[in-house]
Amino acid sequence: MKLTKLKTNYIARHFIYYDKIDSTQTEIWRLIEDDKIVNGTMVACNIQTAGKGTHGRNWITDETGNIAFSIYIETNCLIEKLNGLTLDIARILVDILQEDYNIKVDIKEPNDLIINNKKIGGILTESKVMANKVKYIVIGIGINTVKMTFEQDLENIATSIKKEYGIEIDREELISKFCNRLEDNIKNRIKT
């Protein structure tokens, strides 16, 4: 995977791609712990065996071609400046899918992406806070773009873009456009 349409200054400029990994979110935290990370680092993968969702749930990416990535962003700002960020991230994704593919995606606030009352994706936003300042955030995104089979306990609540609309989206283009818009959003939030 190559993000050839990036227009960012730093987001996803350091790009690490795995064919298979336990979790992109967990890998970012490992890089932080080992002090081997730079601002804007993105970790993406094809297969994710132990992806992290909200409330400790799993987000499994067990078929190739879906979207799973995490981004590390140094913010060093007051907590209030990041209020509503997860919802903004969801709106950016919804807007891109509507504009480029005419796909109608609803948001179950603050972090679930829904088509026809079934979940296609989610957003996990984690942060490191020290003395009322958010030092950095780690944003994880998973979207079922092409997944066609779901376990029995999920088939009534989960779906994919391909299953609902019969189309395949360009992963690299969607992720690049998302990064471009996210960087603008973050810049506007944390500027002094």
Delimit the domains of the chain by residue range: 15-190
Residue with tokens 């972090």, as numbered in its chain: 111
pLDDT in tens, the chain (192 residues): 888 889 999 999 999 999 999 999 999 999 999 999 999 999 999 988 877 666 566 666 677 788 999 999 999 999 999 999 999 999 999 999 999 999 999 999 989 999 999 999 999 999 999 988 999 999 999 999 998 888 777 778 889 999 999 999 999 999 999 999 999 999 999 885
Q: What is the dihedral of CA 111, 55, 81, 140, to 10 degrees?
A: -60
∠47-30-151 over CA atoms, to 5°? 30
∠138-142-145 over CA atoms, to 5°? 155
According to CATH, the topology of domain 15-190 is BirA Bifunctional Protein; domain 2 (3.30.930)
